[in-house]
Amino acid sequence: MSALKDIKVLDFCHMAPGMFCTMMLADFGADVLRIERPVKDVLSLYAGHPALEELKKVQEGIHRAFNRNKRSIALDLSATKSLEIVHKLAKSADVIVEGFRPGVAAKLGIDYATMSKINPGIVYCSLSGYGQTGPYSQLPGHDINYIGVGGALDMIGEPGGAPVIPMNFIGDWAGGSLHGVIGILLALNARHETKKGQYVDISYTDGVASLVTLFAFNSLNFGTEYKRGSLGNDPNYTTYKTRDNKYLAIGCVEPWFWINLCKFAGREDFIGFQFDQSEKRDQVFDFFRNFFLQKDRDEWFELMKDKNIPVGKVYSVAEAFSDPQMKHRHMLEEIDLPDGSKEKAVGVAIKLSDTPGGIKSPAPVLGKHTKQVLKDLGYSSKQIEDLLQQGIIG
Enumerate the active-site residues. 172
Question: Contact, 64 vs 26, CB < 8 A?
Answer: no
Helices (runs of H) and strands (runs of E) counted in the chain:
17, 11
Q: Taking the chain, what is the end-to-end CA distance rounded to the nearest angstrom?
A: 33
The three-state secondary structure class of 17 is helix
Torsion angle of alpha carbons 89, 95, 99, 105, nearest 10°?
Answer: 50
Q: In the chain, helix, strand, coil percent, each to 5?
A: 45, 15, 40
Alpha carbon distance 76, 97 (integer Å): 17
Fill in the amino acid letter for 235.
Answer: P
- 311-314 and 247-251: which strand pairing? antiparallel
Alpha carbon distance 236, 310 (integer Å): 10
Question: Contact, 30 vs 8, CB < 8 A?
Answer: yes
- 70-74 and 31-36: which strand pairing? parallel
Residues with Cβ within 8 Å of 220's Cβ and at least 6 positions away in sequence, in order, are none
Alpha carbon distance 332, 325 (integer Å): 10
Question: Contact, 391 vs 38, CB < 8 A?
Answer: yes
Nearest residue to 133 via CA among 201, 229, 44: 201
DSSP-derived secondary structure for 294-315: GS-HHHHHHHHTTTT--EEEE-
